[in-house]
Structure 1
Amino acid sequence: MDHMGFGPEGCDLFHQLKVYKGYAQDKAVIDYSFHGVIQHIDDTILGQMEAMVHEQGIASFKLYLTYQHKLQDGAVYRALSKLKKVGALTAVHPENDATIAIKRAQFLNEGKTTPEYHALSRPLECEAEAVARMINLAKLADDAPLYIVHLSNGLGLDYARIARQNNQAVWGETCPQYLLLDERCYLQPDGLKYILSPPLRPEAEKAKLWQGLIDGSIDTVATDHCAFTYQEQKQLGIDDFSLCPNGLPGVETRMPLLFSEGVMKNRISVQRFVYLTSYKPAKLFGLYPKKGCFEVGSDADLVIFDANEKRIINHDVLHDNSDYTPFEGTACHGWPIMTISRGAIVAHQGTFTGQAGYGQFMHRKPFKAQNS
């Protein structure tokens, strides 16, 4: 499920869906869906939400509290309220934009332009404050269901825990980069490679996120994959971190990294691994039981791991459209050796065996509370 990018200024909800379906047409090799993207809120946008959910099968929408198309609190409240009514899950990129803008300008004015100041301009409190704000706005919006994307720190996780202890409909994800990497990466000569938002955090935050995976406070592990190239696109920030595209590649390394660092190091069970990567996403995003389980009538979607296989991650053997991996040189214990999509083997021992156009668009079911 891809997060659709922003479209032209003022475009309606259907615009980007048409664009992204065009990207996938006759090219997708596995089944796919999209999260709706909300760039602004007005009566027209609110009026299109029901059709997007019930006619187009888009049962989740992402909104942003920072970046070009950030929403103010009033718009966020209206979006949450309407999405709850039409049966959709609201996903949010939570960062306090006003504070970030001030800190970023301060650093740039002082000539502090290197990658570490990207992280310092977006401290974890900026993210955690926005997490707490979204939780409270969702509660005010008749307890609208809320999904917090790419959580990077323990304080934000604590706010989510409090909400769930009060039976609020809040779920959250983290990503491998926040579990394995930390802010020291920005001090390396190639620190631009690691610019993403939220940024990498102090080392101590990693253990807090692992604890969230272990105790059930974090529900899924995603990637926030962005295939920017280091040699070209990331170099835009060579003299000014604020000009560097935000995002890391990671879709291909998500499963082996979590298996190696989680299962093989006895942090999580194999069952918990499946829950985080397959079962829970299928439940939350309207795909269960067609996806996310191994039952009669379900799609035969399987990834087979060899728990004895040991690999060193090297970008030369990966298949994304970037020119680097942030996990270069990382040792993995356990590796996926076969991928089966609807009964067809589409990858085997690192070789793609599927075909373009095999993937089908997944018309997702409206969100329901029992999905939790």
Structure 2
Amino acid sequence: DVGLLVGSTPAAARKPMLASLAAGDLPVLIGTHALIEEGVQFKNLALTVVDEQHRFGVGQRLAVRQKAERTPHFLSMTATPIPRTLGLTLFGDLDISILGEMPPGRQPVKTRMVPPEKRADAYTFIRKQVNAGRQVFVICPLIQESDKLGVRSATQELEKLQRDVFPELASRIALLHGRLKSAEKEAVMAGFQRGDVAILVSTSVVEVGIDIPNATVMMIEGADRFGLAQLHQFRGRVGRGREESWCFLFTDAEDPQSLKRLQAVVTNQSGFDLAEIDLELRGWGDLAGYRQHGKDFKMASLLDAVLISDAQSEAVRLLDRDPALDGEPALRRQLSAYRQVFALD
């Protein structure tokens, strides 16, 4: 009664599955972005659950709605709400539930910002962790070197760690990125899960869906190149066992805005708190359109609960007075556009 649809699902299995789905004989379908492709049709879609919501754009979420004649119930889950979603919850357009407790036995991940002069100390700490039988993630913004961006790449980092930093661990340091073939990626991850690989150098492909309880260190190169949500997701790859874990944010940045963002990650363990900071820094985008961040109008404070409550009360009074908004044609047009993209958010 449960189907699985992903990009690699063979045509021989895909065709009868989609036929069963369209006929209403398959009650539950789990999948990746493959679920929103053309040809995937539900007879009576009643509930949509989106995990890792921040990985989907507005248009992709809207595509799910178009799979049904009526708008289905919608449950969105994420450790790091995007600014647009948080903005919608602030205006009362989304109900929200927060799981504020960690799973039993887990400890908060200790997060530190590492300037260039402290790099050697961090390497010494990582060596001690590996010698104690633990494992390490090393995240880089790029696969290959770039003269324009001037940040460390995954391939560069692999060579440096094997040759200069941890030569005694060279055979236990592996590379993972999106350009590897599926079989190569699976082999690397299998080695990491078995413990054969002690240090995994990777790009952002490990941001979600990776569970290695023995990994206790997340080392992020060029941390200022990542967004708050990504940094929090990376941090969530460690601290999944009972051992104490650390997240090191390596940066050469000196501009105040970048350092402010990184300090927010150091100070805040909650993804929701980080989402609020992200909202303040980037804005919530176009709530009646497709942009998921940016500032379209000014408020004394983006998180001014009293002002938002007053605006909601005024909206209710206006609708009681003029339900069809006949006297507010510009507002009626804006709401019509809003409904089109808000259907699943």
Length-normalised TM-score, structure 2: 0.26
> Radius of gyration: which is bigger?
2
Considering Cα pairs closer than 8 Å and 6+ residues apart, tell me whether 1 or 2 has the greater RCO. Answer: 2
Length-normalised TM-score, structure 1: 0.25
